[in-house]
Every structure is written in structure tokens, then in C-alpha cells.
Amino acid sequence: MRFHGHPASSFLILPLLLSSLLLDVPLLDADLSSDAHALQDFATRVLHARKLDWDSPTRVCHSWVGITCSPDGSRVTAVRLPGFGLYGPIPRNTLGKLDGLKVLSLRSNYLSGDLPDDVPSIPALQYLYLQHNNFSGGIPSSLSTRLSVLDLSHNSFSGSIPETLQSLARLTALKLEGNSISGTIPSLNLPRLKSLNLSSNNLTGSIPGSLHEFPSSSFAGNSLLCGEPLSPCSMIPNPSSTTSQEPAKALRDGNPDGNRKVRTRTIVVIAVGCSLAIFLLVVVILVCCLKKGDGIAVLKRKEVDVGNVTSKDFGSGVQEPEKNKLFFFEGCDYNFDLEDLLRASAEVLGKGSYGTAYKAILDEGTTLVVKRLREVVAGRREFDQQMETVGKAGRHPNIVPLRAYYYSKDEKLLVYEYMPHGSLFARLHDKGQGRTPLDWDSRLKVSLGVAKGIAHIHLETGARCVHGDIKSTNVFLNQENDGCVSDIGLAPLMTFSAAISRSIGYNAPEVFETRKVTQKSDVYSFGVLLLEMLTGKTPLKYAGYDDIIDLPRWVRSVVREEWTAEVFDVELLRYDNVEEEMVQMLQIALACVTRVPDARPRIDEVVKMIEEIRQPDMKDRLSSGTESNVQTP
């Protein structure tokens, strides 16, 4: 239940998930020893800031950093060294000799020079991540035909896009943005291509028709590129003519040639548009017929394939195409995959109502929170739909952003942004060393933030949306020390008992009878949270705390005259002139924890009430008061 770091209890938990997949085979056959040799060759010839410890060749599959072997331990199948401070060129005949290699991730290093063509042409290679280095020269044209992801973005590659990409029938992601690639885009027709980014290069000419359906951001930042989805080619000044003549001017001048060209183009555009529309209509009808009855929404999510984590040959996973994918929500610009997550060093943050939360630090330093959900009752489709709702609802400054999720039969993971200032629970109740208690100003700010977050869930996402598990361990402080609500939208996916048992102190009385959470029960839980914040007492049963569990009942039992002396957190009594505000907040809290659900205010009314606590003239006093408190903690 404690959502704060325990450095002493740091474990590499998540990698354990992987370990079951790697069988121990002590024998070292010839192929493996040549793999080990090639890797050692690489390590000695490439400077690296972080230690690799690739010493004993017999341990290559067991203890070498960044190395994964095939299940039978006969070949190295993955090399992942992201952010290892690798410096300089990759020598030929090192990594290129690993001919069982399927995954190579060397992103976010300082690798430079030509990419030796024996690397991308490793026959088994499926995932090549080299983004954020400084490779230069041309993109090698000999590429493994099994490639599924080719990410060379943010380097200094020049030259043109090789035509041989057309032969990569399995390619799902092609990322070349942020290089100096020039020339025209070859007419690629890759059925599986889902993610394409050629932006910020030096490409010219028109975008081939087969790539029109990608968004304009896939092509932006190439000043001489034109055609759908960018502006039509006629609008771009002709690169060969030095005086950038506008086509409109040519028309005005009555240039018959230009006129005819424009007209022909219009006809072509209309014709293409019409046939596209008809095609789309047919597709829609087909899809509707096929999916009749289940009414599933087409999810607009960014999909990232992950390598063979649990399936032997993921690339040809025809039966269950959605298996083993980490789903990213839009607006997430993180660069990681499921394997990175599983390999991240992780520390247990705490056990929540729905499972265990880990703080995961990726190799390149990104910190995330990964939640392993337990007791999920929802099926795949229901889960997906709920996540879609959550992804949409979650875009609010007072809601902890959910970045990605993973669903399989045995494992459900949610990936959240990490909140460095910890949970409200920890800030209120952790009396450990070096922790400054939250002052009244901060508590007021957090309360208002949380109320706004809940209001967003209740009001912006449709009448049926509830949080269902408001409590201080689900409230986090962001960079601005504003309150953010986490774990939204999970209640409907879980067994009822999972939610109820761990949050007893926060649940409205009617919830135990109806076994249903409502917006009114959310307001009750929020009222308990306010009481917790005001009293400094926890409504949760918690080791080391023998405090009361039913906060509302206890507060009601104290007569009003005694509130200041009895109810309020002693930490808060150190501040002058805040008593009136605290009393007002207590009244709001008591209104929220009214027994009769219909007598409780709506959350948007609560937001208004909290906003009214702070009088304008008091703001000045409090902000100066806060400053002096900082100096004397």
C-alpha cells in the first residue's frame, strides 16, 4: 500500500518475467562460441561508457549484459544495448557475424560512421533499432527480408532511400526521420507497413500514391516534398526554377500549358478521390458484415510490435495478430517496447487494490510506473474498449497519464508516467527522515486538483464514468505539486472484491449493499480523502497505524467547538490564520460524506466550493507565509 520508494528493497523484478523463457543449457556449441567471440570483438573495438562484463564465453546466455539467446541456448538472438554510451563506428565482421540475431537495439548511443552492410543484412534480423546515434553515409541497400521494424531515425544518414525496401514484405515500421536523406521517395507498396516517418529530411518530389494514407507528420520537414497528405505539388515552387513562380500566376497569365496541366491534375484527383471513396465504402460494408453483432470500435492506437517475447515467431503470428503488442496511447512519444520494460531495473512501489506497482527505469533513463494487474475479470475486447475510454479520458492535467498497456491471457500491464513527488498517502503519512510535511497551502492545492480530476472523469467522459477507487494512494503529486488522480477506469475490469477489500475506509456505506460504485460514491470517497488530508489520520488499515478506520464517523463524533483542537492535523496548526479555511474545508468534506447518496453534492459543485475557500486577499498572505515556512522546515 505504500507508494514510495524503498531503495533498500530494490529488486530486478520484471526481468524475472523473462527468465522463465530462457532455458538453461550448459553446453556451448560451435555457433554459440563464434557468437560470443564476435561479441567480444565488438566490445573490445567499440568504446563504451557502461561496463559490459562480457568475460566468460560459457556465460554468454546467462550473465552477459544485453544478450538474449534462443530457448535452446544455441545462438544469440538479441543484442540490446540502448544508452550504453557506445562510441564510434561499428566494425565490420563483429555484430554482422551473429547470424542468428533477430533483435538488435543500439539506440541512444554515440555510434557514428557508416553502418556496415553486414549488420542490416543478417538474414534472421527482424528488429533493428539504431535511432538517436550519429551514423552517416548511405543506408545500406542489402537488408534482411525478415525485417519488421527498421528504425534509423535521428542520425546523420544521407543519400537516398534504397529501392530494396520494397522487398521487405514483413516491414511494419519504417522510421527514418531526422536524417539528411535526399532524393525522391521510392514507390513503396508494403502491405504490413503501419508506421512510417520520413519527416525532417531533405526529400524531394511527390509522395507516391501508396503512402498517401499516412499522416502529414510522416513527411513534414522536407521542404521540397509535395502531394497528399502534404500540399498538392502544384503549390510548391518548382525546385528547378529560381524564381518561385506560383501556378496561380501562370493561370492568370493565361498560360495554356499550365492551364491544361492543372485541369488534367484536377480530373485525376477527382477520379482517384471517387475510386478511393467507393473502395472505402466497400471496405466499410465488408467490415460491418464481418463484424456484425459485436460492434467493436476501430481503435485508434499506435501499435508497436514486440519481438519474440513469448511466441516463437511473432512476425508470422497470423492467428492472433494482436498478441504480444504493447499499445501506446496517442500523444505518447516514448521510445520503448515491451522487452525494454521487462528488462528495466524495477523497484516495487507498492501493492494497490488491483495489483503491484513497479517503478521501472529504462536503459536510457526514462522512468515509468508499471502496474501488473491481478484479478482482471474483463475479456480482451472489454479490456481494449475500456482502455480506449481511459486513454481519452486521461488527457487532463489532474489525471496521471496512462501511456501504454499490454494484455495477454497471463499478463496485464499498465504503463503510467512516473510522478516523482510521490503519492499523497506517502506525503501525508510517511514520517520518515527528510520529509517535510505538506503545508496547508499544498494540501488545498492538491485537494482542488483531485476534485478537478474527478470532475473531468465524471463530466467529460459520459454519465456512466466513475473512478471507483479514490484514495490517497491513488493520488499523486506532479511537478507543480498539483494533485493527480491515478488508476482511472480500472474498477469495471476487476472483481468487485478486489476493489472493495483494500479501500474499505473510503467506501460509501451503500457500496457494500449495492456492490456498485457510482459518481455519488466517488464523492463520498473524495470526502474521506479531504478528512484524511485535514486530520492527518489514515482511513486505511496500515501497519504501524492503529488509528480509526471510519474517519467520517469519528469527525462527526467530535463537537464543532472542539474541531480545531481535536480534529485537525497538528502539522497544520503550526500555520497562522488558516483555521477559518480549514473549517470551511471540513464542512465541504462532511457534505461529501453524507450518508444519503442523493444529499451529497456533485463533484463540480465541490470544485466550486473549494475554489471559494481561498479569498483573494488571503492569497498574498499565504504565499508570503509559505516562503517563510520553506526557510524553516
Length of the chain: 633
Which three cell numbers, joined as nine digits, stand for 337? 517496447
Q: Is 369 left (phi over 0), alpha (psi -120 to 50) or beta?
A: beta
- Out of 34, 40, 141, 156, which residue is the one contacting ligand NAG (CB under 6 A)? 156
User: Looking at 384, 469, 522, 569, which residue is catalytic?
Assistant: 469
Q: Does 447 bind ligand NAG (CB under 6 A)?
A: no
Q: Is 257 a catalytic residue?
A: no
User: Which is closer to ligand NAG, CB of 186 or CB of 509?
Assistant: 186
Q: Please say which residue, 124 or 220, places its beta carbon nearer to ligand NAG.
A: 220
What is the closest distance, in whole angstroms, from the C-beta atom of residue 215 to ligand NAG in the complex? 5
Q: Does 180 bind ligand NAG (CB under 6 A)?
A: yes
Closest CA to 2 of 450, 501, 543: 543
Q: By three-state DSSP, how is residue 112 classified?
A: strand
C-alpha cell at 318: 497470423
- Residue in 46, 48, 78 with CA at minimum distance from that of residue 60: 78
User: Site map for ligand NAG, 213-232, x if CB under 6 A?
Assistant: --x-xx--------------
Residue 151 found at the interface with ligand NAG (CB under 6 A): no
Residue 160 contacts ligand NAG per CB under 6 A: no
- Taking the C-alpha atoms of residue 72 and residue 502, their distance in angstroms, rounded to an integer, is 43
Q: Is 485 left (phi over 0), alpha (psi -120 to 50) or beta?
A: beta
Strand positions, DSSP E, 99-194:
103-105, 110-114, 127-129, 134-138, 149-151, 156-158, 173-175, 182-184
Which three three-digit cell numbers place residue 224?
Answer: 521540397
Q: Is 199 in the site for ligand NAG (CB under 6 A)?
A: yes
If one asks whether residue 182 binds ligand NAG (CB under 6 A), the answer comes out as yes
- Tell me whether residue 479 is exposed, middle or buried, using C-beta atoms within 10 angstroms of its C-beta: 0 to 12, 13 to 18, 19 or more: exposed
Query: Among 34, 58, 136, 164, which residue interacts with ligand NAG (rule: CB under 6 A)?
Result: 136
With respect to ligand NAG, which residue has the nearer C-beta, 202 or 385? Answer: 202
Alpha-carbon gap, residue 571 to 550, rounded angstroms: 21
- Strand-pairing partners, residue 369, are 359, 416
Report the amino acid identity of residue 573. Answer: L
Compute φ and ψ for 198, nearest 5 degrees: -120, 15
CA distance 547 to 463: 36
Judged by CB, which is closer to ligand NAG: 105, or 112? 112
Which of 242/628 has CB closer to ligand NAG?
242
Nearer to ligand NAG by Cβ, of 218 and 473: the residue is 218
Report the DSSP pairing between strands 224-226 and 195-197.
unpaired
Residue with smaller CB distance to ligand NAG, 136 or 587: 136
Stretch that binds ligand NAG, among 210-218, 292-300, 469-477, 505-513 (CB under 6 A): 210-218
Among 70, 112, 148, 461, binds ligand NAG (CB under 6 A): 112
Question: What are the residues facing 195 on neighbouring strands?
Answer: 173
Which of 40, 141, 160, 202 binds ligand NAG (CB under 6 A)? It is 202
Min CB(38)–ligand NAG separation in Å: 26
Residue 179 interacts with ligand NAG (CB under 6 A): yes or no: no
Using CB under 6 A, count the residues that bind ligand NAG. 13
Q: Smallest distance from the beta carbon of 367 to ligand NAG, in angstroms? A: 21
Name the minimum Å distance from CB 202 to ligand NAG: 4
Q: How far is the CB of 234 from ligand NAG (least distance, A)?
A: 21
Here the cell at position 205 is 518530389
- Grid coordinates of 408: 495477454
C-alpha gyration radius of the chain: 29
What is d(CA 77, CA 66) in angstroms, rounded to the nearest whole number?
Answer: 11
- Give min distance, CB of 81 to ligand NAG, in A: 18
**134 contacts ligand NAG (rule: CB under 6 A):** yes
| Closest CB 129 distance from ligand NAG, rounded Å | 15
Stretch that binds ligand NAG, among 194-202, 274-282, 588-596, 615-623 (CB under 6 A): 194-202
Task: Identify the bridge partners of residue 407 per DSSP, sorted by sequence position.
Answer: 412
Site for ligand NAG in 464-483 (CB under 6 A): none
Is the Cβ of residue 166 or residue 184 nearer to ligand NAG in the bound state? 184
177 binds ligand NAG (CB under 6 A): yes
Query: What's the grid cell of residue 196?
Result: 512510417
Beta strands in 519-632 (DSSP E): none
Q: Are strands 367-373 and 355-361 parallel, antiparallel or unpaired?
A: antiparallel
Residue 284: CB minimum distance to ligand NAG, A: 23
* Catalytic positions: 469
Which residues in this chain contact ligand NAG in the complex, by CB under 6 A? 112, 134, 136, 156, 177, 180, 182, 197, 199, 202, 215, 217-218
